[in-house]
Amino acid sequence: MVSTKTPSQLVLNGLLNENPIFRLALSMCPAVGISTTVMNGLMLGIAVLFVQVFSSCTIALIKDYIHPRIRIPTYTLTIATWVTVIDLVLSAYAPVAYKAMGIFIKLIVAFAIITMRLEVFACKNSVNKSFWDGIGMGLGFMFGMVALGFVRELLGMGTLLGYDVLGFRPLLFFALPLAGFFCVGFMMAAFNYIEIVFNRMKKKTG
Amino acid sequence: MRHIERQKIFLLGAAILMVLISLAGCKTQHRFVDKTAFKGSHDIVLTFAAPVDADWARDASNYRVCEKPDPDIRLDIAGIHLSADRRIVDLHFQEALNQGQPHVVTLHNIMSEGKSLGDETVNVKKLYLGFLFSILIGAMLIHNFVFTKYLGLCVFFGTSQKKTTAVGMGITFTLVIVASAMMSWALYQFVLKPYHLNFLQIIVFIGLVSLSVQAVDTVLRKINPALFKAFGVYLVLVIANCIILAVPLILADNEYNAWESLMLALGAGLGFLIALFLMSSVRERLELANVPPTYRGLPIAFVVAGLFALAFLGFSGMSIF
């Protein structure tokens, strides 16, 4: 199935229709584990964007030479190579952020979203299309992480990106690491509610 | 026929056990230091293989003691006591030692019978079986991978809808993680570390995980088809679980030995089993409850998991022994 979408449609698809966190509900571990601040979300988002784009392009380049029976190991090894690259680069140039994210950078290998995009999209489409699909998925992941980080940092600490915005702490509970479960649950429910209201309005007008 | 096969498996198991024991036996302890142990709350006792010189032993500047995670913080020695046969040195500290952490003792230029035996670094750990047990319980409850480290959530939410599925997944996962963690530990200690190939960690570990899943698949299919029928479907899901990759990385970071690695892997597997079982019991009841339509499915599951995580927060800071 070769995609006929234009680059802008591909990017929008990753951001909204198939948002990795809120719509596909894939790679929940980082969404719960390290979305405590906007900065953390942004850094991991950039790392995932990098890995997604580069492994999508690599697979799209060599897709004709991969035997179908060993395609999954090939995907895994490709992703592992790019994760090693970003792991070494981050530990050298951004040691503080690297420490904050801990083991999650290395675990990008096991994020379901990247393997799934390679299997569903990159192995059937051109390099150009796969590049834009990778950008869309990476941005979608980053958007989800930043949205979660925004809510948790604002409610938990009253700050944004480290700057004091509110001057007080509305709900200190959200700064706890485990509040990620509640936060993801509430935000998913909010998205469902919007969808239900949207469908109801559609029914009325149509 | 079947009987012979079973015998072979027992032999294989016994061989693996022997290898483990011998691996644990070849510790990195110095040949001249026989034993290291904690005594009371303030003391570390070092036992040497032969008498050491009294002048050397009584000089506090020859010892450097720190906790393993904080090598920069040097602990102050308040007094040194040497036994009559000059083989046992008792280091007394001003402050109580945190025995939950292994301690590192660096000995400068050990002198025995007027001869120098060079510098040496030795580890001090609590009673060994107790230490192993605390690793097991720690990985299972105190640092439960699902509820306090937030790993393996995709599979956790995917397979916790029914109790039977949850238990099947938990047992399969425990088997695979023990096998793959032991293999990656051996590969890291004997191949990657000696040849300075640490940067290949991620690639090697993920490759080993897929390999061991394939191996368990093949072995189980041959040995016990009934078991394979029950648990085969979960094997594919095991690869998608981050815990299976996180455990080898933690083992490599902490430089655990064979037994400690076994305990951590077992604890991680059993902890996942416990989490799945708890969650599936609640979700089976949720099926009957009247949940608001916006919360149906995943959102309410996340809230329930959050409540469990709050409960598990109660374990934090607990220490055994």
In the numeric block, the tokens 């400068």 are attached to B108
> How sure is the predictor about B154, in pLDDT bands with cuts at 50, 70 and 90?
confident
Judged against a pLDDT cut of 70, whether residue B126 lies above it is answered with: no
Q: Report yes or no: B157 at the A interface, CB cutoff 8 Å.
A: yes
Asked if B201 and A192 come within 8 Å (Cβ–Cβ), the reply is no
B228 within some domain: yes
Residue A109: pLDDT above 90? no
Instruction: Say how far apart CA A110 and CA A27 lie, in whole Å.
Output: 9
Based on its alpha-carbon atoms, the radius of gyration of chain A, rounded to whole angstroms, reads 18
As a dihedral over the C-alpha atoms of residue B290, residue B295, residue B296, residue B297, rounded to 10 degrees, the angle is: -140
The answer to whether the Cβ–Cβ distance between A110 and B245 falls below 8 Å is: yes
Phi-psi region of B42 (alpha: psi -120 to 50; beta: other; left: phi over 0): alpha
B320 belongs to a structural domain: no
B42 shares a domain with B175: no
* Same domain? B103 vs B162: no
Phi/psi at B83 (5° precision): -75, 170
Given CB atoms, is A89 within the 8 Å cutoff of chain B? no
**Burial of A101: CB neighbours in 10 Å, binned 0-12, 13-18, 19+:** buried
The predicted-structure confidence for A170-198, as pLDDT tens digits, reads as follows 888 887 888 889 988 888 888 888 888 88
Q: How far is CA B205 from the centre of its chain?
A: 16
Q: Tell me, what amino acid is at B309?
A: A
User: Cβ contacts of residue B262 below 8 Å, gap of 6+?
Assistant: B20, B178, B181, B182
pLDDT at B23 over 60: no
Mean of pLDDT values over A11-32: 79
* A112 vs B contacts (CB less than 8 Å): 154, 240
Burial class of residue B292 (count of CB atoms within 10 Å of its CB; 0-12, 13-18, 19+): exposed
Tens digits of residue pLDDT in B223-281: 878 777 877 777 777 877 888 889 999 888 888 888 889 999 999 999 999 999 999 99
Sign of the alpha-carbon torsion through B66, A105, B308, B283: negative
**Position B27 in a domain:** no
B192 vs B158, higher pLDDT: B192
Q: Would B141 be classed as within a structural domain?
A: yes
* Mean of the per-residue pLDDT values of chain A: 85
Residues B154 and B286 in one domain: yes
- For residue A81, give the nearest of B149, B203, B241 by CB distance: B203
User: Of the candidates B109, B108, B110, B104, which has an alpha carbon nearest to the alpha carbon of residue B122?
Assistant: B104
Q: What percent of chain B has pLDDT over 90?
A: 14
CA gap B220, B179 in Å, rounded:
13
- B144 shares its domain with B72: no
What single-letter DSSP state applies at residue A4?
A: -
Shared domain for B50 and B80, answered yes or no, is yes
Q: According to the model, what pLDDT value does residue A53 have?
A: 93
* Residue B193 tokens, joined: 């570390």
The confidence band for B20, taking pLDDT boundaries of 50, 70 and 90, is: low
Instruction: Indicate whether B14 belongs to any domain.
Output: no
pLDDT value at residue B237 = 76
CB contact under 8 A, A73 and B207: yes
Q: Do B202 and A192 touch (CB under 8 A)?
A: no
Q: Identify which of A167, A191, A92, A185 has the alpha carbon closest to the alpha carbon of residue B303.
A: A185
Of A159, A120, A169, the closest CA to residue A37 belongs to: A159
Distance of CA B278 to the CA centre of its chain: 23
For residue B143, how many other CB atoms are within 10 A of its CB? 20
Predicted ipTM of the assembly: 0.85
B152 assigned to some structural domain: yes
B60 and B190 together in one domain:
no
Q: Quick check: B203 and A185 CB within 8 A?
A: no
Q: Which of residues 6-65 of A touch B (CB under 8 A)?
A: 25-29, 32-33
Position B100 confidence tier, pLDDT thresholds 50, 70, 90 = low
Is residue B5 predicted with pLDDT exceeding 70?
A: no
Domain count, chain B: 2
**Burial class of residue B212 in the structure, from the number of CB atoms within 10 Å of its CB (0-12 exposed, 13-18 middle, 19+ buried):** buried
B147 lies in which domain range? Answer: 132-313
Q: What is the pLDDT averaged over residues A73-92?
A: 90
Mutation choice for A interface testing from B202, B300, B303 by most A CBs within 10 A: B202
Q: Are residues B153 and B247 in the same domain?
A: yes
Q: What would the two tokens of residue B167 be?
A: 């238990």
Name the residue among A89, A86, A127 with its Cα closest to residue A108: A86
**Does the pLDDT of residue B321 top 60, yes or no?**
no
Given a cut of 50, is residue B209 above it in pLDDT?
yes
Per-residue pLDDT at A160 exceeds 50: yes
Whether residues B182 and B288 fall in one domain: yes
Q: Is residue B277 part of a domain?
A: yes
Q: How far is CA A173 from the centre of its chain?
A: 24
Structural domain ending residue among the three candidates B124, B149, B167: B124
Instruction: Label residue B22 by pLDDT band (50, 70, 90).
Output: low
> Are residues B295 and A178, on separate chains, in Cβ contact within 8 Å?
no
Q: Which residues of B touch A189 (CB under 8 A)?
A: 294-295, 299
Residue B236 with chain A: CB contacts under 8 Å: none
C-alpha separations of A27 from A141, A159, B155 in Å: 9, 26, 10
CATH number for the domain spanning B113: value is 2.60.40.1220
- Neighbouring C-beta atoms of residue A148, cutoff 10 Å: 25
Query: CA-CA distance, B162 to B287, in Å (whole number)?
Result: 10
Of A27, A77, A185, the CB nearest to B302: A185
pLDDT-wise least confident of A45-49, A68-72, B277-281: A68-72
Contacts of B148 in chain A (CB under 8 A): 178
Nearest to B156 by CA among B245, B236, B240: B240
A147 touches chain B (CB under 8 A): no
CA distances from A26 to A20, A137, B152, B155, B158 (A): 6, 12, 11, 10, 10
Do B112 and B151 share a domain, yes or no? no
Of B124, B141, B164, the position where a domain reaches its end is: B124
Say yes or no: B274 and B151 in one domain.
yes
Selected residue with higher pLDDT from A33 and B186: B186
H-run or E-run covering A10: helix A7-12
Q: B156 and B37, same structural domain?
A: no
Q: Do B153 and A106 touch (CB under 8 A)?
A: no
CA distances from A78 to A106, A121, B100, B241, B252 (A): 14, 15, 40, 18, 22
**What does the pLDDT read at residue A55?**
92
Q: Which of B124, B158, B187 is the last residue of a domain?
A: B124
B156 and B303 inside one domain: yes
B268 touches chain A (CB under 8 A): no
pLDDT, averaged across chain B: 82
The torsion angles phi and psi of B172, rounded to 5 degrees, stand at -55, -45
